[in-house]
Amino acid sequence: MPTYLLHGFRWPRPLIRIHIILQNLDDAAAEWLMAPLTTTTLVSNFTALYPEIMPSLKSLRFIEQYDPLDESAESKSQPYAYVADFVQEVKLGVDIDEVRGKGVGNDAWSSMVELRDKLAPGEKIAWFVVVCGDVERWAPPTVGLLEGSNGVMQYVPMSGGSGGSIESYDKRFSGEQTPSRPGTARGLKKFFAGKGLRKSKR
């Protein structure tokens, strides 16, 4: 599991949700700030809101904590995310004193304090060790029913997860591959056609 040593502060989840709602950030996912689109959206939003602060925080990142082995309902939404101006992934080991010795510049420190006051008043700015067991946060693909060019209905992943998108299934419906599922649509038509759906002659 990726482990991070970072300098920053905790951003409570309720405050994250409020910020995203009030700022009308449709592309931001409040439950997982590490998603690339969410990170880009939030950084852009912060830059517009706090133009005096953000120039000193060029390396601003959002880190989530997550244990994929914890299957409780509460584990899916952690109580906070981390807002960091310095992040180092720990592969096997790290000399914490050496990393901390590099320090954080005065401008960056002051800017982090100001950003903390805007986003999460009262939270402590400190060094944290954070474990994130699923950086990409894989989810099962959404399943949909599509009819290919050959008239065969098939269940395919529509989005999300490692199942790919509709585009990745174009060949399946172009006739280049033989579908493995039976011709459900045609079979039903024949079935109903033979079950008295035609007008009876009396």
pLDDT at 18 over 80: yes
The whole-angstrom separation of Cα 143 and Cα 86 is 39
Q: Which residues of 62-75 are buried (b: 16+ CB within 10 A; e: fewer)?
A: bbbbbeeeeeeeee
The whole-angstrom separation of Cα 64 and Cα 32 is 7
- Sheet of 80-90, strands arranged across: 61-63, 80-90, 3-12, 126-131
pLDDT at position 140 is 44
- HSE, CB side, 13 Å, CA atoms: give it for residue 65: 18
Q: Note the Cα 152 to chain centre separation in Å.
A: 33
Q: Please write the tens of the pLDDT for every residue from 72-114.
A: 877 778 999 999 999 999 988 989 999 888 878 889 999 999 9
- Residue with the larger pLDDT of the pair 40 and 190: 40
Predicted confidence band of residue 22 (pLDDT cuts 50, 70, 90):
very high
Model pTM score: 0.67
Main-chain dihedrals φ then ψ at residue 182, nearest 5 degrees: -70, 160
pLDDT at 120 over 90: yes
Main-chain dihedrals φ then ψ at residue 25, nearest 5 degrees: -95, 85
Q: Please write the tens of the pLDDT for every residue from 152-182.
A: 545 444 444 433 333 333 333 334 443 444 4
The whole-angstrom separation of Cα 106 and Cα 146 is 57
pLDDT at 200 over 80: no
pLDDT at 125 over 60: yes
From residue 35, alpha-carbon distances to 6, 51, 131, 152 in Å are 18, 23, 16, 36
pLDDT at position 34 is 93
Could you tell me which of 43, 51, 20, 44 has the C-alpha nearest to residue 114? 51
In 94-169, alpha helices (H): 96-101, 106-119
Q: Please write the tens of the pLDDT for every residue from 55-70.
A: 999 999 999 998 878 7
Strand partners, 132: 66
